Chains A and B, each alone.
Chain A
Amino acid sequence: MSLRMPERVRRYTTDPDQPLRQGAYASPLRDERLAAILGASLGILFSICFVTGLYSHLQQNPQSWFPIPARPAGLYRFTQGLHIASGIASIPVLIAKLWLVWPRFVAFPVAKRVSHVVERIGLFPLVAGGIFMTFSGVANIAQWYPWRFSFRASHFWMAWVTMGAIVAHGGAKWAIARRTLTRPSRRPALAAADPVLGTVAEAAAGDPAGGGLTRRGLLATVAGASGLLTLTTVGQTFHPLRRLSLLAPRDPDVGPQGRPVNRGAANAGVIDLAQSPDYRLEVTGKVGRPLSLTVDQLQALPTHSAELPIACVEGWSYSAGWSGVRVRDLLAMAGADPHRTVLVESLEPNGAYRTSTLNSGQAADRDTLLATHLDGQVLAVDHGFPCRLIAPNRPGVLQTKWVTKVTVL
């Protein structure tokens, strides 16, 4: 009780084993080592999120210098599942890391030299960015929008801010992290310090330090928390673990026809339009013979079946059997060049995803379909009746539903 408050705060917070007695046997580097392990893990997880997020961004904002390949068919499903899983797994690591270094935010003197100032300023985008990225990601997969900005744009641009801060921080900590991670140092075991007492104590408790979490215990706790969050959510994209996904925002087996959707027909305002006798599928643009097909004509076209995943940007996915007319067959029927870019439009009156574009490779792929059937049944209206686009290696939001117009560009 005789200690001044800042001193007490410092000791309770900088020492991962507090309030324990293990500090007595500590290596002076042990905190750095733990911070380095957590920091490196976080750097890896955030980098995975950044790269997979960039890929998702390029999928949704096609660039001429990066034509999205049609194959492998499950690539986006994998990368986006990994994006969400890595983000979720990073939460305990981030929290533990923040807890470990928190006293540094109240450390005085604030800085002693220019490089310190630069480093400490960089901590704000690092910490605030890390918290924002995980918070906004978790809120988004739970479809919770307490903000007014666009999630997609803000999450994307803040990812650059956060990643830049990670690069700067990595450079500042590289030497110290390397030093602490490469040396085998641990705190000297009690047995080494005093063979007699050490042997007695270790035999006694199995833990010479006594009751609380050891450094290794803290790492195990963080790994356990990451593992638990992963186990209870990853079944939304990794089907074998579906029964364990108690905390997943989606179940890949729950929804119309046993499949989830991100935007139902009611939300899209297309229930009447999709079921109207006036519905037509039009094929226009650079075609020899424009087509205008009724639902019956559409369903009478030669069909092709394919097993393809729907992979939502929010991290859930499922693979299903789709059948319908191949886009390339439709283009051939309309007398169009099969190697052109194709614009697909929905009946949806508005919405960010009422249209999508197939690049020439995607449009020509053997499995790119305007599907009329899902797992052998006529599409439910929530799944895009009368027909929906389904193509390999695409985000679900680009698998346009309630397709009414195909324009060859």
Chain B
Amino acid sequence: MSLEPGRDDPGPAGPLFWVSAAAGWAVIAVGLRGIFTNSLDTRPANLARFVVAGALLHDLLVAPVVIVLAVALARNVPRRARAAVQAALAVSGIVALFSYPLVRAYGLATHNPTSLPHNYAANLLVVLGVVWAVAAAVAVRQIRSTPPVALLDLAGGETALDELDLLVPAQQGGVDGGGDADDQDGGEHRVP
């Protein structure tokens, strides 16, 4: 897999790597120095807690949860609706994440009557409604533009395309028909 350092990946090297590493770390040093020389404002211990927590929260909670959701989605959503559902779920999650502090209305603690003028919970629902309406329209269009019933089994996750795959051993690298997610592991990994 090309995103992983592997046998054929020589890794970063060369003058550009070292020059930008030196420049980048010099800029990082400026930031760290600023944090520590302004410690009355930046409160390094408290700041470090938030910086580390953000990364850990993503790597150990958000990313695994997204993966579990993605697997569940692949197993349960019919193939031709999958793209639309995946996109709608991703957009919904991101919009909800952004809206969280607005919906929780933390800003009202500042007692500024012009802060947070909307009903953000209701507005979030409206935005999500639009997202899912668009996704539904896309999914319907996708389904309508599909071939005759003879080619595709509308009811199951298994489609005639799966059968077609069976006929392409050169690309597919193996025989792995069937509709469940396990067979999705096929593909380039099986290329000898």
- Give CA–CA (A111, B5) in the complex, Å: 8
Cβ contact within 8 Å between B51 and A129: yes
The one of A91, A105, A159, A246 in contact with B127, judged by C-beta atoms closer than 8 angstroms, is: A246
The one of B77, B101, B168 in contact with A142, judged by C-beta atoms closer than 8 angstroms, is: B101
Question: Interface size class for chain A?
Answer: 35 or more
For residue B63, CB closer than 8 A to chain A, the reply is: yes
Contacts of A9 in B (CB 8 A): 67
CB distance from A204 to the nearest CB of B (A): 4
- Give CA–CA (A115, B189) in the complex, Å: 28
Secondary structure of the B contact surface, majority rule: helix
Closest to A245 in B: B118
CB distance from A128 to the nearest CB of B (A): 4
Cβ contact within 8 Å between A160 and B28: yes
Q: How many residue pairs at the A-B interface have CB separations less than 8 Å?
A: 367
For residue B23, CB closer than 8 A to chain A, the reply is: yes
Closest to A138 in B: B98
Closest to A117 in B: B11
Contacts of A129 in B (CB 8 A): 51
CB distance from A85 to the nearest CB of B (A): 13
Contacts of A13 in B (CB 8 A): 63, 67
For residue B132, CB closer than 8 A to chain A, the reply is: no
- Give CA–CA (A25, B164) in the complex, Å: 13
Cβ contact within 8 Å between A171 and B95: no
Cβ contact within 8 Å between B3 and A14: yes
Contacts of B112 in A (CB 8 A): 143, 261-264, 267
How many residues belonging to B are interface residues under a CB distance threshold of 8 Å? 110
Contacts of A128 in B (CB 8 A): 51-52, 54-55
Secondary structure of the A contact surface, majority rule: helix
Cβ contact within 8 Å between B168 and A153: no
Contacts of B97 in A (CB 8 A): 91, 95
- Chain B, 35-94, CB within 8 A of any chain A CB: 35, 38, 41-43, 46-47, 50-52, 54-55, 58-59, 63, 66-67, 70-71, 74, 77-83, 86-87, 90-91, 94
Residues of B within 8 A of A (CB): 1-5, 11-14, 16-21, 23-32, 34-35, 38, 41-43, 46-47, 50-52, 54-55, 58-59, 63, 66-67, 70-71, 74, 77-83, 86-87, 90-91, 94-95, 97-99, 101-102, 104, 106-107, 109-118, 120, 123-124, 126-127, 131, 142, 145-147, 151-152, 159-162, 164-165, 167-168, 170-173, 181-189
